[in-house]
């Protein structure tokens, strides 16, 4: 089984817990996975990982939004994910030494 197939299996197990029955119809899975085809495979993988790790109580429609946002990011930057967005933003936009001196002077 490929990495994507294993991740999809884990994803559907996670999402099925949002149902009272604990099950999701095959037709629902097929329809949702057809929607995923609009996105690059690495976008799909990242979105499934994010949903599984952070949004266990959210239904499958939420994942499409995650994919849409990741795809926009990829289209703009050429890459998927940045494990330290805040830290890299701070380093790029601010002179931290100058800010520290200013803070200590006050």
pTM: 0.73
Return the number of other C-beta atoms located less than 10 Å from residue 96's C-beta. Answer: 9
Domain segments of the chain as ranges: 3-105
pLDDT at 3: 83
pLDDT at 88: 42
Question: Cβ contacts of residue 102 below 8 Å, gap of 6+?
Answer: none
Q: How many CA atoms lie within 13 A of 67 on its CB side?
A: 19
- d(C-alpha 16, C-alpha 29), whole Å: 10
pLDDT at 82: 60
pLDDT values of the chain reduced to their tens digit, one per residue, 106 residues? 678 899 999 999 999 999 999 999 999 999 999 999 999 999 999 999 999 999 999 999 999 999 999 999 999 999 987 655 544 443 445 566 666 677 777 6
């Amino acid at each position: 089984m490929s990495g994507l197939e294993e991740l999809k299996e884990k994803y559907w197990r996670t999402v099925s817990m949002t149902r009272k029955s604990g099950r999701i119809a095959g037709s629902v899975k097929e329809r949702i996975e057809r929607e995923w085809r609009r996105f690059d495979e690495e976008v799909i993988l990242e979105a499934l990982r994010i949903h599984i790790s952070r949004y266990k109580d959210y239904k499958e429609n939420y994942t499409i939004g995650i994919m849409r946002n990741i795809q926009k990011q990829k289209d703009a930057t050429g890459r998927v994910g940045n494990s330290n967005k805040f830290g890299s933003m701070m380093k790029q936009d601010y002179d931290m030494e100058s800010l520290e001196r200013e803070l200590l002077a006050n």
